Amino acid sequence: MTALVIAEHDNATVKSATLNTVTAALACGGEVHVLVAGENAGEAAKAAAQIAGVAKVLHADGAGLGHGLAENVAAQVLAVAGNYSHILFPATASGKNVAPRVAAKLDVSQISDITKVDSPDTFERPIYAGNAIATVQSGDSVKVITVRGTGFDAAAATGGLAAVESLSAVAASDKSSFVGSEIAKSERPELTAAKIIVSGGRALGSAEKFTEVMTPLADKLGAAIGASRAAVDAGYAPNDLQVGQTGKIVAPQLYIAAGISGAIQHLAGMKDSKVIVAINKDPEAPIFSVADYGLEADLFTAVPELVKAL
Ligand SMILES: Cc1cc2nc3c(=O)[nH]c(=O)nc-3n(C[C@H](O)[C@H](O)[C@H](O)COP(=O)(O)OP(=O)(O)OC[C@H]3O[C@@H](n4cnc5c(N)ncnc54)[C@H](O)[C@@H]3O)c2cc1C
């Protein structure tokens, strides 16, 4: 029984979601290998080889793999899939783009968004926006799995000494090609990897106010900034900041929600945070039901006061 983890990386470094996925793979009980499919991705392969618990790294390098195009990465996974009992992807935008193709081609069911491994064929996953946990047993010969990062601790990024084996890259598909990417540069930690997140809601009222009120708090705390869907839909914050059922799932050490009501779809994305602080002027706001610390106050006064006090 051997599990294959598909690394999420930028050709130079391995992204943190890979580390949580390795922990899930180790829980499946067998040896763990990691596939690094990229272009000039030698550094990422070296980094993967250092992850504690990894026995082998497969490194496929080719022009078609440089930008993580789903058709090409899926074909690369399928080229080695026959050697594995479990194939695990982080449940991130790119993992979720590739995993269903692999599952479909192998004619097996995908087991999505697992938060616990009960045994090599039985897994737990949240359903109904996290209000119930389904225990799923799979009789498929290969388990194709996406892993919710917040359900598993990160494996240590160093300490491992895995061998790196080169694979020949599959031919690039002509179904898609890379045109370009526009990546917002930010000094802030990435939302899903941040230890502290400060999130703003509809109450902020405008993009200008969102920035004016939330940025100083994030700066003081070295935090990532998040937002509710209402704030994103209203254009106060960019789409990639959305936390929740249809946004990002986060579980930082500290989550501060300012002017967020705590709708079930928002809670689905952040209720596993270690400490939750809510600032809301409505004492009945549902966010207070999950908050460890609640401040019934006007955020336009409370947040600047907090910044001053920090
Ligand atoms: C299928 C589906 C998926 C969804 N996915 C998501 C998702 O991923 N993420 C998400 O967030 N939502 C999601 N939603 C939307 C969700 O249902 C809520 O509409 C949304 O979360 C509300 O955002 P909000 O709390 O910012 O706004 P509101 O619900 O309008 O809450 C604003 C809060 O601010 C408080 N407030 C107002 N003024 C002040 C002030 N001056 N100081 C302090 N507090 C103040 C109010 O008391 C209120 O509690 C989804 C909905 C659906 C149907």
93-106 and 70-80 helices, crossing angle to 10°: 50
Convert the pLDDT of each residue in 164-180 to its tens digit.
999 999 999 999 999 99
CA distance 51 to 287: 37
- What tokens were used for 116? 């616990």
pLDDT given for residue 190 in this prediction:
86
Ramachandran category for residue 22: left, alpha or beta (phi over 0 → left; psi -120 to 50 → alpha): alpha
**Banded pLDDT at 58 (limits 50, 70, 90):** very high
- Per-residue model confidence (pLDDT) at position 118: 98
174 versus 26: which is more confidently predicted? 26
DSSP for 103-168, written as a single string: HHHHT--EEEEE-EEEETTEEEEEETTTTEEEEEE---SSEEEEE-GGGSPPPPSSS---EEEEEP
pLDDT band at 43 (very low <50, low <70, confident <90, very high): very high
- What's the CA-to-centroid distance between 228 and ligand 1, angstroms? 6
Angle at 180 between CA 174 and CA 183, to 5 degrees: 140
Q: What share of the chain in percent tops pLDDT 90?
A: 95
- Is the per-residue pLDDT at 139 higher than 90? yes
Pocket test for ligand 1, best of 199, 225, 249, 265 (most atoms within 8 A of CB): 265
Q: What is the pLDDT of residue 63?
A: 92
**Mean per-residue pLDDT, 90-102:** 96
- The mean pLDDT value for 240-244 works out to 96
**Ligand 1: which atom is nearest the Cα of residue 298?**
42
Please check whether residue 65 is in contact with residue 72, taking contact to mean a CB–CB distance below 8 angstroms: yes
Query: Using 50, 70 and 90 to split pLDDT, how confident is the model at 192?
Result: confident
- What is the band of 187 on the pLDDT scale with cuts at 50, 70, 90? confident
Predicted confidence (pLDDT) per residue in 207-239, tens digit: 999 999 999 999 999 999 999 999 999 999 999
Give the residue from 119, 150, 146, 149 showing the smallest Cα distance to 135.
119
CA 36 distance to own-chain centroid: 17
E strands in 190-286: 196-200, 224-227, 254-258, 275-280
State the pLDDT confidence band at 152, using cuts at 50, 70 and 90.
very high
Mutational test site, ligand 1, from 280, 298, 306, max ligand atoms within 8 Å of CB? 280
Instruction: Calculate mean pLDDT across residues 39-62.
Output: 98
Taking only the tens place, the pLDDT of each residue in 265-292 is 999 999 999 999 999 999 999 999 999 9
Tell me the pLDDT of the chain averaged across its residues.
Answer: 96
Spatial contact of 250 and 269, defined as CB atoms under 8 Å apart: yes
Give nearest CA residue, ligand 1 atom 7: 244
For the beta sheet containing 275-280, the strands, ordered from the edge strand earlier in sequence to the opposite edge, are 224-227, 196-200, 254-258, 275-280, 293-296
Residue of 248, 266, 288 to test ligand 1 pocket, by largest number of atoms within 8 Å of CB: 266
Distance CA 156, CA 23 (A): 9
For residue 184, pLDDT over 80 is answered with no
Tell me how far apart the alpha carbons of residues 28 and 135 are, in angstroms, rounded to a whole number: 15
Overall average pLDDT of the 47-71 stretch: 97
**Rounded Cα–Cα distance for residues 112 and 108 (Å):** 12
Which residue's CA lies nearest to atom 14 of ligand 1? 265
